[in-house]
C-alpha cells in the first residue's frame, strides 16, 4: 500500500512550488503580450553623421520612417547610402537592447523548480 501523500513522486511541497511556477509563468505570458504591444508603439531613434540621417524604428525593429537632411543629400549617393546604413544599425542596436532590457525586467524573479 502506497503511503498517503506520495502521489506520482511529487511531495505536497513540490506541487505547491509547481503551481506557483505556473502562476508566475502565466503572469509573464500576460506581461509579454502587454510588452509586445508597447514595443510596437515605441519609436526608437538611430542616427548617423551627427544627425544628418535619422532612422526611426519600433521597439521590435519595424521601420517607421527615415529622415534625411538636405545637407546629407549634397554628400552624394555613396556617402548617403553609408549614412543610412549606419543610422539603421544604430536604430536596430538600440531597439534590440531596449527589447532585451524589457524582457529581463519581465522575467526577473521567475524561478521554475528544477531549472535553477
Helix (H) or strand (E) segment spanning residue 53: strand 53-57
Per-residue b or e along 68-92, where b marks 16 or more CB atoms closer than 10 Å to that residue's CB = beeebeebeeeebeebbebbbebbb
Read off the pLDDT of residues 24-37 as tens digits, 9 standing for 90 and up. 888 878 888 898 89
For residues 66 and 25, give the distance between their C-alpha atoms in angstroms, rounded to a whole number.
Answer: 38
User: Is the CATH code 3.40.470.10 the one for domain 12-107?
Assistant: no
Global pTM value:
0.71
Read off the pLDDT of residues 56-106 as tens digits, 9 standing for 90 and up. 999 989 999 999 999 999 999 999 999 999 999 999 999 999 999 988 887
Q: How much is the pLDDT for 17?
A: 82
Length of the chain: 116
Q: Using alpha carbons, select from 29, 17, 44 the residue that is nearest to residue 99.
A: 44
Residue with the larger pLDDT of the pair 25 and 10: 25
Quote the crossing angle between the two packed helices 77-107 and 12-41, to the nearest 10°: 150
Q: Which residue has the cell 524573479?
A: 109
Amino acid at each position: 500500500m502506497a503511503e498517503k501523500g506520495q502521489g506520482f513522486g511529487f511531495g505536497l511541497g513540490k506541487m505547491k512550488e509547481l503551481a506557483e511556477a505556473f502562476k508566475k509563468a502565466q503572469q509573464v505570458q500576460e506581461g509579454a503580450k502587454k510588452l509586445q504591444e508597447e514595443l510596437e508603439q515605441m519609436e526608437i531613434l538611430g542616427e548617423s553623421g551627427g544627425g544628418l540621417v535619422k532612422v526611426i524604428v519600433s521597439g521590435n525593429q519595424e521601420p517607421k520612417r527615415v529622415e534625411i537632411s538636405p545637407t546629407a543629400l549634397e554628400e552624394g549617393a555613396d556617402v548617403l547610402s553609408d549614412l543610412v546604413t549606419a543610422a539603421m544599425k544604430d536604430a536596430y542596436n538600440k531597439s534590440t537592447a531596449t527589447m532585451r532590457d524589457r524582457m529581463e525586467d519581465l522575467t526577473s524573479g521567475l524561478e521554475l523548480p528544477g531549472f535553477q
